[in-house]
Structure 1
Amino acid sequence: MQTFVCPDLDILEVKTLRHKLTPRPSPFTKDNNAGAGFVGDKDRIRLHTVEYESELSSGAACGNGVVSGEDDTCLMLPEWAIRSGPRDTIYFEPSQVTAAIVTCGGLCPGLNDVVQNIVFTLTDYGVPEDQIIGIRYGLAGFYNKGAKPVTLTRQTVDGIHLKGGTMLGTSRGGANIEEIVRRIDLWGLDMVFVVGGNGGNAAANAIQEEIARQARDVKCVVAGVPKSIDNDILLIDKCFGFDTAVEEAQRALLAAKVEAASGRRGLGIVKLMGRNSGFIAMEASMASGVVDVCLIPEIKFDQKKLLAHVGSILDRKGHCVICVAEGAGQDLVNQEGKGGTDASGNAILKDIGVFLRDTLKGHFKDQADIKYIDPSYLIRSIPTTSNDRIYCKVLGQGAVHGAFSGYTGFTAGLVNTHYVYLPIETIIQAPRKVNPTGRRWNRLKTAINQPDLH
């Protein structure tokens, strides 16, 4: 593993526009933020909480950094991150603020929750409701004549958290950053909130950089809210919607268990989301308690070893349940057919679920009753569970607090159970992945008695 050390800074810095703005007291100072007080600019959250005895300790590989890139480079990070929350000094006059919200990429439980709470928090600051707009169908909605922005009021977002999807619509694919910044300038936007995954946050970072590059004096902050049903945003404990996805994924696994256990030598296969990272497959397998084999993108598996292991489970138990993440086993799937990249620039994956189904059918022939379940879109489109609903509220509030504090090019997230502001340019370097030598994966392997299959 290669190691790259960041410059000798003790805190993960976030850009600001404070030098272009005028400080003023927060409207919440009247009652000391409802008696709770404020977050200080020098409040810090430690990025790494564990001190390892040695490199041999479980999880110690890159223990004070984060694994980044295809070559598993260990990116060493500063010790601290900036704490999220309301400041007693703000840098925008709320009554003069015009803000825009946009949702990007694939669906994920919680999008409506985040939109709702950004709107609620903006109006709590005193932003007029007719000065909050929603961009339709992703970033292209900034300039697409067929998708005019909508006004977002407390009334229009009331109750949207009870529904799946996003009331604003979404889309994948690249966007014309220069045209977006031109519209930001034309519309006089002061704040842009981008709710998206790695691609959406990369676009948010590009927007912020283009604003900084522009000769014209555009005073607009760009704030991100990290969305990834795969839970693969670097540094962040978990993304909103992940808990909901794990809960719903269990339904498919339990159905596979029923199907498998009800047949002679029954074999249930469930394919879950996880392009580069196997967090949903790992956590759903652990939580459900019915999975015998879990396959994730981070760990290659040998086809012969897998077939032998599944056969031994069928001989011993009479049935078997396999959970596979969509990005697993891509080196084994027939290379013919799909290829290239999708609209977001992601490699188009071969269907590992169908491959496993057909491979297992060919191997066991009539000696196994095989059922295959792919619940992906059922999981993406549902409303949030209670934990995610609360998380979305805090993220939405945190993004607005950060914007009023003059920060830009940041995303709000949870790190070591505390809410922080992270520079977008840091979190988009690579997808977060399951640590193959870490305790979480080891717990699952131990729980299901899964041997090394590579």
Structure 2
Amino acid sequence: MVLTACTVPQLKPQPSPFVAHNNWDGGFVSDDDRVSLQSMKFASAKSAGASTHMIAIGSTGHRTSWMQSSLEQINVPLPAFTMRAGARDTIFHNPASTTAAIVTCGGLCPGLNDVVAGLVRKLEDYGVKEGNILGVRYGYRGFYDPEFPPIVLTRENVEGLHLQGGTMLGTSRGGADIKEIVKKLDMWGVDMLFVVGGNGGNAGAAAIQAECQERGVVCSVVGVPKSIDNDILLIDRCFGFETAVEEAQRPLLAAKVEASSTFRGIGIVKLMGRESGFIALHASLSSGVVDVCLIPEVPFSLHGEKGLLAYLESVIARQGHAVVCVAEGAGQDMLPTSSDKTDASGNRILGDIGQWLKKEVKDNLPDVDVKYIDPTYMIRAIPTNSGDRIYCKILAHNAVHGAFAGFTGITVGLVN
């Protein structure tokens, strides 16, 4: 899918180099193809999954979906449809004279190298000349830090890259001097910029696109959404999420073994999930060993008849041990160290729910043996599994197709 697309007006149309073989007999998509954002028509608000609520407008109100209300909070209108991603039979950049740049931003996530390699290969498939694909190092700072000049990316030096975790380009958070970045894009003659990043990285890409338009710099800016937490609005699945869920089985199963091997054992595993609990929930469900899953979306209490401590005591009484999976953003309202401070990317700095929970359980439940595991850096640094590997390739290819189609200010991702 391609979202919120607009075109660069200065570009001239020409036939795609793939016309000669009908895109390897796969055909082309049309700019008029659309994909619905809502695949289900609910009979009423009472239907499971409808998740509607009333929004007051003066003395009246109207019903709206959770997606619409979420977007209204950030003042983004929700279209009924998005554009379909894929190769077009008409392109607007001449491959022989095109220069492209790729930058990876934010925290590590399985699949960054896969996307970089996929972008390079598809750019060369279009006919972009060797030496004309630049890799910007260490995030946005690589545009203006003289210590880290861009590197040339080729099919040869990305060979086997998908087998490695991390990103060959390096990454960093924040530090985006938009005017300086656009100045360098113009100076280097970059026709296409691919930004692989999360909410902060894509916000930066949107600002770069706006600045390019303001200055008259002809450059297609394309985002590839990256969030190991799987929490980017409208995108059904972000790359790396499936790999993270699979790898999270290992610490959960280890916690089960540790807890069940001791008297009144409790295993606590903290997983990624700042604002959403997708990894914790999916990993808990798939592992089949978790007794309690705590996520940011659902508040919980520690004490009382319906509190976490009472429930853990009941689980131990029944089976002798318990396993807890907690997302890093859960229970932040209960932490004494919680604050409104943010990191370089604008993300709220979280208190350590895992360590706090470990202490509270040990202090309040007699004779428990608590084992705490935080596998965050082990999970996010691994290579992708086969499902994410394919998905990364599809995202990269469609990002290049979108850029050659003359679109800018777009993001590619799976919808429905």
Selected match of 2:331 from 286, 311, 329: 329
In structure 2, distance between residues paired with 1:199 and 1:225: 12
| Superposition pairs of residues 71-90 of structure 1, within 5 angstroms | 77-90=78-91
Residue equivalent to 1:344? 345
Paired AA for residue 393 in structure 1: K
Contact 2:143 2:184 (8 Å CA) reproduced: yes
Structure 1 residue 77 displacement after superposition: 2.3
| Superposition pairs of residues 252-263 of structure 1, within 5 angstroms | 252-263=251-262
Contact 2:3 2:411 (8 Å CA) reproduced: no
In structure 1, distance between residues paired with 2:41 and 2:127: 44
Structure 1's 368 and 341: CA in aligned 2 closer, same or farther, altered over 3 A? same
Name segments (4+ residues, structure 1) moved above 6 Å.
70-76
In structure 1, distance between residues paired with 2:245 and 2:193: 30
In the alignment, does 2:248 pair up with 1:249? yes
Structure 1's 171 and 73: CA in aligned 2 closer, same or farther, altered over 3 A? closer
| Superposition pairs of residues 214-293 of structure 1, within 5 angstroms | 214=215, 217-293=216-292
Structure 1's 191 and 72: CA in aligned 2 closer, same or farther, altered over 3 A? closer
Contact 1:130 1:152 (8 Å CA) reproduced: yes
In structure 1, distance between residues paired with 2:243 and 2:13: 40
Selected match of 2:43 from 21, 38, 53: 53
Structure 1 residue 364 displacement after superposition: 1.2
In structure 2, distance between residues paired with 1:42 and 1:71: 26
In structure 2, distance between residues paired with 1:187 and 1:202: 22
Superposed CA deviations along residues 229-277 of structure 1, whole A, max 9, x for unmatched, are 0000101111000000000011110000000111111100000000001
Paired AA for residue 368 in structure 1: V
Structure 1 residue 71 displacement after superposition: 9.7
Contact 2:222 2:409 (8 Å CA) reproduced: yes
Contact 1:66 1:75 (8 Å CA) reproduced: no
Structure 1 residue 225 displacement after superposition: 0.3
Contact 1:64 1:76 (8 Å CA) reproduced: no
In the alignment, does 2:395 pair up with 1:395? yes
In structure 2, distance between residues paired with 1:134 and 1:12: 24
In structure 1, distance between residues paired with 2:234 and 2:90: 28
Superposed CA deviations along residues 156-215 of structure 1, whole A, max 9, x for unmatched, are 10011100000000001131000000000001100000000000000000000111111x
Residue equivalent to 2:379? 379
In structure 2, distance between residues paired with 1:273 and 1:196: 17
Structure 1 residue 368 displacement after superposition: 1.0
Structure 1 residue 78 displacement after superposition: 2.2
Residue equivalent to 1:297? 296
TM norm structure 2:
0.93
In structure 2, distance between residues paired with 1:27 and 1:143: 34
In structure 1, distance between residues paired with 2:311 and 2:4: 48
Paired AA for residue 385 in structure 1: N
In structure 2, distance between residues paired with 1:138 and 1:286: 35
In structure 2, distance between residues paired with 1:296 and 1:100: 37
Residue equivalent to 1:415? 415
In structure 1, distance between residues paired with 2:42 and 2:147: 56
Structure 1's 70 and 333: CA in aligned 2 closer, same or farther, altered over 3 A? farther
In the alignment, does 2:34 pair up with 1:44? yes
Paired AA for residue 21 in structure 2: D
Percent identity between the two aligned chains: 60
Contact 2:3 2:412 (8 Å CA) reproduced: no
Paired AA for residue 310 in structure 2: A
TM norm structure 1:
0.86
In structure 1, distance between residues paired with 2:347 and 2:209: 23
In the alignment, does 2:137 pair up with 1:136? yes
In structure 2, distance between residues paired with 1:404 and 1:242: 28
In structure 2, distance between residues paired with 1:253 and 1:70: 34
| Superposition pairs of residues 161-176 of structure 1, within 5 angstroms | 161-176=162-177
Paired AA for residue 147 in structure 1: F
Residue equivalent to 2:59? none
Contact 1:259 1:266 (8 Å CA) reproduced: yes
Q: Any stretches of 5+ residues in structure 2 without a counterpart?
A: 53-63
Q: CA RMSD in A?
A: 1.7
Report how many aligned residue pairs link the two structures: 401
Q: 383-392 or 61-70: which moved more?
A: 61-70
In structure 2, distance between residues paired with 1:313 and 1:224: 46
